[in-house]
A and B are shown apart, each in its own frame.
Chain A
C-alpha cells in the first residue's frame, strides 16, 4: 500500500537529460521504480540509457506511455512551468525536487494544480520512497528498510539522518516523504498524516518539523482530532535566532508562533511525543507501539 506511490507508479522524469535528472533517473531505475518516459524539450525521439523514451512534452509521455506520476529536476526558472505542464497533461502526482522557484510564481501555480485535481509534492523537496518498492526523487535508497513506520518531514538531509537512525535500530519504514522547505508547498503535513492514518501498511508516524510558519501547529491539532495511530515528533531550530532565514526559505522566525519552543509545546499538548535529539525518536517510537 504505502502512500502516494507504489507498484502502480508509472513515472515520467521532467529534465531527464540534465545533470541531476540523469543521475537520479539511474538511481531510481536501479531501485526498481518504473520510469516509463522522460521529457526534455528538443530531445524528443531519443532513448535515455537505451531503455527510457524521451519526449518533447509531458502530454506525449502521458498518451504514449501512460505516465501517472512526474518528477521534476529542471532548473528553477523553468520549474514552475514544468509543474503547470504536468498538471495540464493530466498527471495525478507531481513531485518537484527543484529548489529556488520564485514564491510569487508558486502562488500562481498552486491554484492551477488544484483545479486540475493533481497533487503536488514540493517544490524544494527530496521526494518520497517506499522501501524495497519504489522511490521518486533523491532520497538515498541504501539507508531505508521496509517496515511499518511513516515519516514526514520538511527537511532533506535531516530526514535521511532520522531514517538512518531508525534503520540502524532495526525499525523499518512504510513510506518516507519530504514535503519541502519552501513557504508555498503542494502537500503539507496534514495531507500526509491523513494518508498515513488511512494506510494499512503504517502503524505509527514520525513528523519532523522546523522553525517558521505554523504548519506544525496545524498538524498537531489534526493528530489530536483525527488520528488513532501514535505520532512521534522532532523540531529542528531550537538555537535559531529570530528574523534570520536558516537556509530553507520557510525557516525564518517572525512573530512568536514560528519558534521551535512554540511548536514543541503544540506537539506535546496534542499528544505527540517529542524527541529532544534525533536518536531519541527510536525510543519514543518503541514506547508508543
Chain B
C-alpha cells in the first residue's frame, strides 16, 4: 500500500526524524493561511501516489501567502500520471547547503532490508545508480538485530565528513530504520536529506510503501489508506477480495491465479487483442466473487468482450459457473462472454453453463482467440 508524503512525514516524526513542520491543505485558502502562519517562503507539494511530482509541476515555491494560494490553486485539481491532486502539503522552504539520498528497500536477492545512501541526493536515484554506481553506498541489515550503530555511523560518514553533521545523520538513519521496521514497510526513503547553512540536518521529503500482507497488524497505517487515490473499480475489487488492475484494452479478463492471469493477458495480445484488465479471482472462489468480478469488468465502458479462463484447483469450476449464471441473470449484459473452464469439477461447471445457454471450451488458446475475435 502506498501512503502519502504527509503521512510518511508523521511516521518519520514519531520515530524522531528531523522533519520540518508542515500543514496539509485541501483548498487554496487553507494553503494561504498555512503560509501566513509559517511566514517567509514556503513550498507547496502535490500529495499523490506518483513519482516525478516536481517534473510534472506539482511542487512550487511561494514567497508570500498570496503566492502560496495561487500555487495551491494551480496544483489542486492537476492531473499527475492520471491521478487528480486533491491535497497539497505546505511547508516552510529550507535553505539547502547539501542534498543526500537515504533509503531502505526490501531486497529479494539478499532476503534482507538494504539501506542505501548517496551524497548525490535530490535527483532521481535510479539515474545515479545507473550512471554513477560508485556514489551509492549500501548496507544489508540483519532484521533480527536491526540497524547496528556502527553500520549507521559508517553510512553517515559517507554522507558528511563534518562530525557535527554526521552525528545528526546517524540519528536520522536510526530513526529511518525504526520507521521502516515499525511500519512493516517495503520502502522508506528520504530524498533529499539536506544540511542547511546553519549546520542542521533535515529530512525534507518522505516516502513509504507498506507491505500489504502486514496491514492486519498495522491498523493505524491501514486507516491511512486514501480511498480517493484509488480508482473506484480497484477499491471495489479490493473489498471483494479480488486483485484487479485496469488497463487500456477492450478484452475483459477474469482468471484464477496471478500467473495464469498474466499469461492470459499475454495470449490476448499474441492473438492481436488488447487486455482491458488484470483480474485474479484468487483461490477457493465463491460464486459471489465471480459476480463481483463481472460487475467490475462490465463497469469499464471500453470492454467489448469478456474472457473467463479458469483452471480449477482450489477454485471449483462449478462455483465459477454458478457465479457466471447468477451475475449474467442479474446484470443485463450486452457484452459477449467466452468461457474456458477446466480442472476441478469441470463436468459440473460445463453442465451448469450449458443449462444456462453458455458454451464452455477447455482449450485456452481457442478461447482467447475467440474472445479477441468478438471484440473486434
Contact = CB atoms under 8 A, between A and B. Distances in A.
26 contacts: A20-B284, A100-B213, A102-B213, A103-B211, A103-B213, A107-B106, A111-B144, A155-B259, A156-B257, A157-B260, A157-B315, A158-B257, A158-B259, A158-B262, A160-B260, A160-B313, A161-B311, A164-B342, A164-B343, A181-B259, A218-B109, A236-B259, A238-B269, A255-B126, A277-B270, A278-B364
A273 B343 CA distance: 28
B243 interface: yes
Given A104-B143, A140-B344, A164-B342, A249 B313 contact: no
Interface stretch (A37-45, A55-63, A208-216): A208-216
B279 to A, nearest CB: 9
B258 A155 contact: yes
B214 A103 contact: yes
A247 B106 contact: no
Contacts of B247: 239, 241
Interface string A156-188: 111111001000000000000000010110000
Nearest to B214: A102
Contact of B263 (A107, A181, A278): A278
Contact of A247 (B142, B211, B258, B311): B258
Contacts of B213: 76, 100-103, 249
B364 A157 contact: no
Contacts of B263: 158, 161, 234, 236, 278
Contact of A248 (B259, B313, B364): B259
Main SS of the interface on chain B?
Answer: mixed
Interface in A238-289: 238-241, 244-251, 255, 260, 276-279
A89 interface: no
A244 B142 CA distance: 28
B184 interface: yes
Contact of A110 (B111, B113, B212, B262): B111
A144 to B, nearest CB: 12
A245 B1 CA distance: 10
Nearest to A102: B214
A9 B109 CA distance: 30
B313 A210 contact: no
Contacts of A278: 263, 267, 364
Contact of B311 (A154, A164, A245, A255): A164
B365 A277 contact: yes
Contacts of B112: 107
Interface in B254-273: 255-263, 265-270
Contacts of A139: 313
Given A104-B214, A161-B364, A240 B113 contact: no
A167 B212 CA distance: 37
B37 interface: no
Nearest to A139: B313
B331 interface: no
Main SS of the interface on chain A?
Answer: loop
Interface in B113-154: 113, 126, 142-144
A249 B209 CA distance: 13
A77 B213 CA distance: 9
Contacts of B269: 238-239
A222 interface: no
A53 interface: no
Given A111-B142, A126-B313, A161 B181 contact: no
Contact of B106 (A103, A155, A215, A239): A103
Contact of B108 (A105, A161, A250): A250
A246 B243 CA distance: 8
B275 interface: yes
A181 B260 CA distance: 12
A247 B278 contact: yes
Contacts of B257: 155-158, 247
A182 to B, nearest CB: 8
Nearest to A237: B262
A1 to B, nearest CB: 26
A160 B247 CA distance: 26
A249 B126 CA distance: 22
For the complex of A and B, list the 7 residue pairs with the smallest distance between their C-beta atoms, beginning with the closest.
A155-B259, A247-B258, A157-B257, A158-B259, A102-B214, A236-B262, A157-B260
A161 B260 contact: yes
B245 interface: yes
A103 B259 contact: no
Interface in B281-296: 283-284
A108 B143 contact: yes
B364 A156 contact: no
Contacts of A250: 108
Contacts of B260: 155-158, 160-161, 236
A138 interface: yes
A239 B265 contact: yes
Nearest to B346: A142
Contacts of A154: 259
B184 A143 contact: no
Contacts of A277: 266-267, 270, 365
Given A183-B108, A213-B108, A215-B108, A251 B314 contact: no
A20 B343 contact: no
B319 interface: no
B262 A138 contact: no
Contacts of A105: 214
B283 to A, nearest CB: 8
Interface in B212-269: 212-214, 216-217, 243, 245, 247, 255-263, 265-269
Interface in B306-365: 311-315, 342-344, 364-365
A153 interface: yes
B186 interface: yes
Nearest to B263: A236
